[in-house]
Structure 1
Amino acid sequence: MREKSVRTDLLLDFYGNLLTPKMRRTCESYYNDDLTLAEIAESEGISRQGVHDTVKRAEKQLEEYEEKLGLLKLFEMQQAKAKIALEHIKSGDTDKAAKELEELIEEM
């Protein structure tokens, strides 16, 4: 569950502004503010089930945005290359680090 939560949180960072204001607000309360469904339901004036349905619809929408745009996948690939470059720097292999960083910059 935690891994999905981290993924959804990242998807919210990338695509949250594309959601409806209600979906965005509900997901931010659930994922970022760590509020329970009951707490969100009380503040929004809807049922706990309504909050659950909103979160699930938003998650589906976020996954669809990622499927079409791929920003999270691109970010993760760039992050992996940066980590490899850092490891090369730590090991003293600056030539390999420079090559990784050049590739990373070209992809951006």
Structure 2
Amino acid sequence: MHETDALAKTNRINMLFDFYETLLTEKQQTFLKYYFHDDYSLGEIAAEFDISRQAVYEHVKRAEAVLESCESKLQLLAKHEAAERWLAKLDQMAERIAGDSDMRAELLAIAQGLRGEGGSAT
């Protein structure tokens, strides 16, 4: 696997883990954290838990499959990424409105609200 592909996979698994962590077994959660978040090797995890490298590999692969299955059904990551793209467009539009400072401020406030950074809408 190419280094860029490996990084993209790690980022994807970490994002999926953020959304679906609680749907994994405790052991799957632990092994994924060690492997993808903390960058432990399969051998290091196996030594830490006194099990075979193959057993760690199987737990990690099964956990990845659960995460991908959840995403294919619920699409939380895809929806999050789409929302981020729309928020970026909203930010860009707000920055382009130079002459109407009230509208610019309102667009920025909407973007903040959608990100959960602002108070309630008026």
1:43 aligns with 2:53: no
Instruction: Write the letter of the residue equivalent to 1:33.
Output: D
Alpha-carbon deviation of 1:89?
2.1
In structure 1, distance between residues paired with 2:58 and 2:95: 47
Q: TM-score normalized by structure 2?
A: 0.74
Unmatched 5+ stretches in structure 2: 1-5, 115-122
Select the structure of larger CA radius of gyration.
2
In structure 2, distance between residues paired with 1:74 and 1:36: 31
Alpha-carbon deviation of 1:38?
1.1
Unmatched 5+ stretches in structure 1: none
Structure number with the bigger relative contact order (C-alpha 8 A, sep ≥ 6) is 1
Structure 2 match to 1:33: 38
In structure 2, distance between residues paired with 1:58 and 1:90: 42
Q: TM-score normalized by structure 1?
A: 0.83
Segments of 4+ in structure 1 off by > 3 A? none
More helix by share: 1
Figure out how many residues of one structure are paired with residues of the other and give that number.
101
In structure 2, distance between residues paired with 1:23 and 1:40: 12
RMSD: 2.0
